[in-house]
Structures are given as structure tokens and as C-alpha cells.
Structure 1
Amino acid sequence: MTAIPAPPPPGARRPGIPLGRLAGAPVHLQPSALLFAGLVALAYRPVVAAGHTTAAAYLIALVFVVLLFASVLLHELGHALVARRYGIGVRGITLELLGGYTELDRPAPRPGVDLAVAAAGPLVSLTLGGAGAALAAAVPGDGIVNTLLTQLAVSNLVVGLFNSLPGLPLDGGRVLAAAVWRFTGDRGRGVVAAGWVGRGVALVTAVTALLLFQLGFQSLFGLAFALLLVVTLWQGAGAAVRAVRGARAAAPGLAALAAPLAGVPAGTPLARAQDQLAASPRPDAVLAVLDPQDRVVAVVDDAAAAAVPPAHRGEVDVATVARALSTVPALPVTAAVADLREILESNPAALYLVTSGEDVCGVLRAAVLTDWLESQRK
């Protein structure tokens, strides 16, 4: 089992069975997870059948399934707790057919935050796998307890390692996307790159599963599960790539013209912030001020920053030449040219946030927007 499904868009949560709350987040169970639990119990029963009645073997298999779902829940809790550490709210955790997903209330503000949230899940699974292996080694003999601990150790290690592969929708794919975002300054480029790698991971998984089946190392049930996993991987990777391309196709000029945000903590001297920006991969980015939870709270006004004499920029807090995010007008990335002209005329400003839902895609300077709108008249 692996926690790979991509969460649905905000507000489109699929219905499920409520299981209560964990660390303040609602937990739901999809009906498909119950089907999978039954299949796993059927496949696991032969492992513990020797020396037990049929009823006892099924009971032990059911205990294994419950522990397996608890492991997946802890995996998702790892994502949720790290997200909250950076001030990102958690809408809920859902367990479903092939694992689970954690739905956050907004995207990560910086690549480093996205990477930390993504890496938390596999780290939890690998830790559980290591702990299970240590406990299995400490339990003498090959009884039921030892068998359960060994199987849980193996399953968590497989989940942790497989989820670390660098392709979406796996957690490792989110890590790769964050790394590309960090080095290019373009979140969408990172998602597209990780999506294509994810398709490669799906193909390699399919070939490997078929080869293991042909060699007799995998059962028919294992092959069916692997191919279902392949389909899920392929669909998730494709959905990620299409989402980015769709957003850019809706307003190609805006997507191309928007400058990314370069976040610095509040209290950073203006001179240091400008030096960091000049040395970054995207020196055209707009400086943003981050609060202690790494949330963007303001963007630097170019004119206000330029008005500070160079000799004094080492003493001026970058926040003093910034505008609160709530005061910066927003331009939806899907806005039509006519709508953009209306917004520019009715709400003139030096900077505009380019948004896609709750995500801030970048910042557009008024002069750049004006020139681009003029080009659309030709």
C-alpha cells in the first residue's frame, strides 16, 4: 500500500466515512479502502494459516490490515504536522484504495517548505519500518507477533522507499518539483518535470511487475495490484502536467510575464535582500516578506525600495518598503484580456498578484502588464 493519490481540488472532497479527528484534522475513509482491506486480508491469510483455524487466520489477517491502515494514517499525519509547522492549514486526511492523501488549505509558499512537507510522509514510513524490524528481531521465534511485525516492517519500508521515487504523484515527485522550482524560480516547471518523471516511474513499475510475474516471484493478485498502481501513477502524473499547462494556456501572456516571489524573513536588511535576489536564478523576481511561519505577508514596492539611499539600505528593514499582501490587487490567471483592462483601469497599482485559486503564481508589474495589453491590440 502506498499513499499516492493526488488530493481533489479545494471544495471537491469526495465523500467518505468520517472516522473522527486526528491532531485537529478530520479523517475520512473511502469505501474503496474497505474493498482493498478485504482483498489484502484474503491475500494475507495464507501467511498465517498454518496451525490456525480458518476463523483465527482471518482474524489475524484483519489485525494486519488495521495496522497497515494505521501506518498509512501516520504517514499522512507526518505531512499534516509539518504543514502546520509552516502555518499551512489542513482540511483533512483521507484513506482510500491505494493509501491516502492530506488536503492542505493552500500551497506551500516556498520550495523549501514544499520539500519539507512532501518528505515528511516517507520519513515516517521508513521510521515505522525500521522500528518494526527492530521489534521483530527482538521477538523470539516465528510466531504470530513476529510475523505481523515482520510484515509491517517490510510494508512500511516498501511504502517509504517507493514513495521516495522522484515522480508525481509520489511524495518523491513533490520533492523533485520543489527542487526544480528552487533552481528555476518556476513552480509550474517543477510540476511538469516531476509529472513526466512520474510517467517514467509508472512504465518502469509496469515492466518490473510483469517480469516478476513471469519469473514466478509475484502472484496474480500481486500483479493486478501492481498494474492498478501503475494506472494510478500514470493518471496522477498526467493530471499534474495537464493542470499546469491548462493554467498557462488560459492566459499565456500572464503566465509568461508574471515574476516569481523571492521570500526573505521580516527583519532582513533591504541591502541583504537585494543582494540575495541579484544572486538568485530569477533576479527579476519580486521580494516578498515572510512571517515566522514562512507565510508571505507582504511584497516589496519597487519604487519605495529605490527611494532608499544605497548607503542606508543596510539599516532599513525590508518590511518597511513592502505592501501587505491583502492590499495588492489580484489578477486571476484565467482572466480574459477585456477583464484585465477593466481591472487595470478601475484599480491601478504598481504590482498585481497573479493567482490561480488560492495559489499565488507570481507578481506582475503594472508597466509590464500595460505593455502586454497594448500588444494585444495589434
Structure 2
Amino acid sequence: MSSPSAPHHAATKKDGIPLGRIAGIPVYLAYSWFVIAAFTVIVYGPVLMHDIRGLGIWAYLVAFGYSVLLAVSVLIHELAHALSAKAFKWPTEKIVLNLWGGHTQFENFTASPGRAVIVAMAGPAANFLLAGVLAPFVISRSFDGVADILANILMWANLLIGIFNVLPGTPLDGGRLVESAVWKATGSQDKGTIAAGWSGRAIAAALFIWFIVRPVLSGDGLDITFAMVTILVCGFLWMGASSSIQHGRLRSRLYLVSAAGLADPAVGIANSASVADALAVAPAGSPAVVICGPDGKPQGVVDPQAASAVPPEALATTPVTAVAHALAAGAYVPEWSKGQELIQYLAKLEGGEYAVVDHNGYVTGLLRQQAVVTAITGKEARRSGRA
């Protein structure tokens, strides 16, 4: 699966074990992959031991080999995403193989409905191609023993991976078909993302009903291992689809995020000023007063309550820095910043307040993190509406 709209994140140890680069793309093996590898060995090992006499304990090693081949199949799937994206000059950040298979993460780029579909469908196409290459050898029984079993399983695994991923709902690749269709029809990628998320939820519910609820209601027995896998897969699909819906809704509100529009009025004052100077420009605590250093860069914000608590006879001799709290390093943004650009920039800063400056570097406002969160989520608006 691909993450075409994921923001850039530097690779860390959390990504897993680095496996090197393929076509310049870093590949990582997440630690969670060992969970699915262990599950494969535990479940499939005894089956091999029973089916192939003489294997003995080596059956578990063969089962581990199958999990490795499956990881290679997923890697081919993800490489197809990455290489097709490379044709459109979409920068690929990394490929990670994990518990759920894997994902390809891209850096920021400009997408279109058609190109998004091509990149998404390249992954399943690679699996179908690999299954097609293996099919003649499996059908003609070109291999014997363990090799025949692994080839057979690998062929069917790739066929199922391809079919599963073209189902029309996120987080599966087929969700891009729904997203792009709605995007093309409405002109809104956000509406497409939300529609694909709901489609993904429908797929998760349908799979759960068909493989879990239906057998129970009909009186058929449930295989515990199969039921566990089905529940985990449905849970994964539901969470991914829900995340897609949330992401689409949040992204649809980005136009509301503007440094100039969300900031409270503010003025700048030199850090050498006194509390009297601060009260002179903001006698009632408004506008906000931002302290600036000799280089003009914002350093802190005056606390109106602390400033008003200073005795009148000490106003002129008390430095303004004594009634202010510091801003995080670099916590200032241009007043024209907005949308995704502003959010990504704020994500790199510490603290919850940011000075807003104009083209000349003068302070014009004070942007608070809560105002940005409210603009994106609308949470405060909903709370006040119910009150």
C-alpha cells in the first residue's frame, strides 16, 4: 500500500532494520514483521511437518522461508508503487515492510486523479505479474517437494495479495480508484478521500459478516486461527478507513488555517523596554505585547496579569522581561502563511504560541496553537453549539 499524501518524516530507528537501498529508495524491515513471521512459522510449520514426511523439525525453517518469500512479494509490490511514482517525479522517502505487509511513504508532491490511480494500481499489478510468472511452473509441476509447495503457496499468495489490494476502499490500493473517481467528479480530493474511507469501512464490515457472522449463524464451525486472522485484518481495514475519513475531513478545513486570520492582534516591543512601555501600548492587555531582541526577532510574550500587578511606582524601572514568558526558539511565522504549509512549519516548532510578522519583520499578531487546532477540527465550535 502507498501513502501518497504523507508528509515528510526523517527515517529513525523506529522504522526498523535498514535493509539497504533499491533504486535509491531506503528499505526497512519493521520489528513488527517478526510477529507475522513467528505466526507463520507456528501455524504453517506443523502443517508442513505432516504433509511432507521426513522434514521433521526442518519444516519450521521452511515455514520461515515462506514468510521471507512473502516479504519479498510485498517488497516487489511496494517497489512497483515507488518506481511508478518516480516516473511522475514523486520523491519516495522510504519503503517499510511490517506486520501488515508494508507501505511506501512519499515526500510532498502534487498529485492528480489519473496519476494517483496509476501509482496505486502498480502494486497489485506487480503481484498479478509475479503470480502469472509462477503459474506455468506450478501447473506443470516443474518443482518437487518443498520447492513445489513454496512455489504453489507463493503463486496463490501473490494472487490473493493482488485481489485483496484492488478492493475499492482505503487503506487498500483500490481505495485510490474510489478517491480518484469522486475527486474527478467533484473536483475535491478531500471528498474523494472521505468516500474511499467509507468504502473501506463497508469492505471491512462485509468481510467480517461473510467470514465470521455468516458461519456462526448458519451453525458451521469456526477455525480459531482463521477467525483470529480475519478479525485482525478487518480491524486493520476499519482503522485505516477511519483514519482516511478523519484525514479527509481535517484536510478539507485547511483553507481556514491562516496565520493572519487566526492570530490575535499584537505589537512588538524591545526587550530593553520597561513595564510602563508595555502598558502604554497595551493598557488593557490588548493587543498582545511581544518582546523582540536587538535583531528584531520575537523572544517572549508579556503576561498582562503580571504586568498589571507591578506597583505604579515601579512600572518605569521594572524591565518588561520580568513580566513575560519566553517563546520557543524560532517561534514566529510570516503573516501570509496558511494551509498545509503553515501546519507543517508549526509542527517543527515547540511551544503553543507563535509571533506573526509582516514582510518587514514587524510583529502584527500572536498565533496560539489552540486557535489552529480549533480551525482544523472545529471542536470548540461543536462544544459551544451544544451548550
Do the two structures share a fold, i.e. TM-score over 0.5?
Answer: yes
> Which of 214, 219, 223 is residue 223 of structure 2 equivalent to?
219
Worse overlay, 19-28 or 240-249: 240-249
CA–CA separation in structure 2 for the residues paired with 1:116 and 1:82:
7
Gaps of 5+ in 2: 259-335, 344-353, 362-387
- Tell me which amino acid in the other structure corresponds to 2:230: A
- Tell me which amino acid in the other structure corresponds to 1:235: M
CA–CA separation in structure 2 for the residues paired with 1:102 and 1:166:
19
**Which residue does 2:385 correspond to in 1?**
none
**Which residue does 2:62 correspond to in 1?**
60
1:143 CA displacement = 2.4
Contact 1:129 1:152 in 2 (8 A): yes
CA–CA separation in structure 2 for the residues paired with 1:100 and 1:192:
22
Within 5 Å, which residues of 2 pair with 1:249-328? 249=253, 251-252=255-256
Within 5 Å, which residues of 2 pair with 1:21-32? 21-32=21-32
Q: Deviations over 1:257-303 (max 9, x none)?
A: xxxxxxxxxxxxxxxxxxxxxxxxxxxxxxxxxxxxxxxxxxxxxxx
CA–CA separation in structure 1 for the residues paired with 2:132 and 2:222:
24
Q: What's the TM-score once normalised by structure 1's chain length?
A: 0.64
**Which residue does 1:95 correspond to in 2?**
97
Q: Does structure 1 residue 126 correspond to structure 2 residue 133?
A: no
Give the root-mean-square deviation of aligned CA atoms.
3.0
Q: What's the TM-score once normalised by structure 2's chain length?
A: 0.62
CA–CA separation in structure 1 for the residues paired with 2:3 and 2:93:
16
- Tell me which amino acid in the other structure corresponds to 2:71: F
- Tell me which amino acid in the other structure corresponds to 2:229: F
1:217 CA displacement = 7.8
Residues 1:330 and 1:106: Cα distance change in structure 2 (over 3 Å): same
Q: Does structure 1 residue 155 correspond to structure 2 residue 157?
A: yes
Residues 1:87 and 1:65: Cα distance change in structure 2 (over 3 Å): same
Aligned residues: 267
Worse overlay, 17-26 or 70-79: 17-26
1:335 CA displacement = 6.5
Q: Deviations over 1:122-153 (max 9, x none)?
A: 11111112222222112258622221111111
Residues 1:65 and 1:203: Cα distance change in structure 2 (over 3 Å): same
CA–CA separation in structure 2 for the residues paired with 1:31 and 1:335:
33
**Which residue does 2:237 correspond to in 1?**
233
Gaps of 5+ in 1: 255-328, 347-378
1:15 CA displacement = 2.7
CA–CA separation in structure 1 for the residues paired with 2:222 and 2:143:
26
**Which residue does 2:37 correspond to in 1?**
37
SS in 2 for 1:193: helix
**Which residue does 1:164 correspond to in 2?**
166
Q: Deviations over 1:143-199 (max 9, x none)?
A: 222211111111111110011000001000012211221222111111111010000
SS in 2 for 1:31: coil
Residues 1:12 and 1:141: Cα distance change in structure 2 (over 3 Å): closer
CA–CA separation in structure 1 for the residues paired with 2:33 and 2:65:
15
CA–CA separation in structure 1 for the residues paired with 2:91 and 2:190:
22
CA–CA separation in structure 1 for the residues paired with 2:221 and 2:61:
27
**Which residue does 2:140 correspond to in 1?**
138
Q: Deviations over 1:32-59 (max 9, x none)?
A: 1111111012211233213034321112
1:208 CA displacement = 2.0
Within 5 Å, which residues of 2 pair with 1:186-225? 186-211=188-213, 214=216, 219-225=223-229
Within 5 Å, which residues of 2 pair with 1:334-373? none
